[in-house]
Amino acid sequence: MRLTAVHIVVGCLVIAVVAAAAGAMASRVLGSSSSSQSSCNTVQVAHDALPSVVTIYATGPSSSGSGSGAIIRADGVILTNNHVVAEAIPSGSLAVLFNDGQRVPASVVGTDPVSDLAVLKVDRTGLPIMKFGIGDRLAVGQPVVALGAPLGLSGSVTSGIISALGRNVPAPRSDGGTTVLVDAIQTDAPINPGNSGGPLVTCNGALVGVNTAISTVPDSNGQAVGGSVGIGFAVPSSTAQRVSDELLANGKVTHPWVGAQVAEISDAMASRFGTSTGLFVQNVTGGGPADQAGLRVGDIITTLDGSPANSVSLAYFFASAKVGDEVHVQVQRGSQHFETTVKMGEQP
């Protein structure tokens, strides 16, 4: 099996999205709760939640892959990850396998590479739905259950706990570059390639996260090896509901726009060329937010709201900011240093 995107090394771990190549034999695997999570009846969770979980097959011109999803509306609306369906866009095909064994075609309602979420639609009604656990109060250490199709094994269930809350996790985008999973839920419930897009639920079966990425220990070449090491990340349900609502209403998600193209100046590049680290302004759109803030081609943005300016902090900003937000930036222009404020506009 393979991971469908490049890997990002963070510390001594590799962050990788977890959609898998298709082809593994589908089967039912039920993970029982451990004694440390005896308060969570995973058998009941599996019984109640699995009918709302699907396996998604994406076929593109040159490759295919599989992932997971959750039914969020009875008229055939399914929530999943963007990277699960990316191979089928724009000229491939999508199919959904339901828990009852039926397989049907699916279409894309909309995708959002920034949050790594997507919404699909199938021509079926009266489907069992999985409710968002928006009002649920989450706590580090509480039991959770992951459902999906790791390595193509549909109907799989694993259990664990919430290891941490509020993680901001750099992750590869299916269209290139980096995004940040903002306020992600960290869990030790085993998540493997193919779990992507599947739900992370509480013991009452409420969806609190969309399983999206895992950390793996890199080999000597810095590449991901093996499967779960007990560090997985899920996009929180609050983000998933907001994004899915926007996709259903408009077919797209509104994200802030700077109106400038930048490139990161690394420590090595700064040392070589005798300049500051930061983001080098390569292009400025006339009349856009950056232009109105006084930024010019050749400027170096050194800080974003007080944090060092680099590709990760920029990705976090775009993933978390809203249209109308203001960001204070420190800028170097030749030998001059100054501060300005960029007010985010809407992406044209």
Verify whether residue 196 is a known catalytic residue: yes
What are phi and psi for residue 296, nearest 5 degrees? -130, 160
Verify whether residue 48 is a known catalytic residue: no
Closest CA to 111 of 75, 132, 87, 131: 87
299, 281 in Cβ contact below 8 A? yes
Angle among Cα 291, 292, 293 to the nearest 5 degrees reads 90
User: What is the DSSP-derived secondary structure letter of residue 87?
Assistant: G
Residue carrying structure tokens 């999508």: 94
User: Dihedral (C-alpha) 201, 207, 208, 214: value to the nearest 10 degrees?
Assistant: 60
User: What is the DSSP-derived secondary structure letter of residue 324?
Assistant: T
Verify whether residue 93 is a known catalytic residue: no
As to burial, measured by CB atoms within 10 angstroms (0-12 exposed, 13-18 middle, 19+ buried), residue 231 is: buried
As to burial, measured by CB atoms within 10 angstroms (0-12 exposed, 13-18 middle, 19+ buried), residue 9 is: middle
How far apart are alpha carbons 19 and 127 in whole angstroms? 24
Q: Which of 196, 228, 237, 244 is catalytic?
A: 196
In Å, what is the CA distance from 348 to each residue of 176, 281, 289, 292? 20, 19, 12, 16
Cβ neighbors of 256 (< 8 A, separation 6 or more) are 318, 321, 322, 323, 325, 344, 345, 346, 347
What are phi and psi for residue 24, nearest 5 degrees? -70, 150
User: What is the DSSP-derived secondary structure letter of residue 22?
Assistant: S
Q: Is 47 helix (H, G, I), strand (E, B) or coil?
A: helix
Q: Which of 112, 116, 188, 299 is catalytic?
A: 116
Q: Which of 52, 66, 83, 228 is catalytic?
A: 83
- Render 234-247 in DSSP notation, one character per residue: EEEHHHHHHHHHHH
Q: Is 112 helix (H, G, I), strand (E, B) or coil?
A: strand
Active site residues: 83, 116, 196
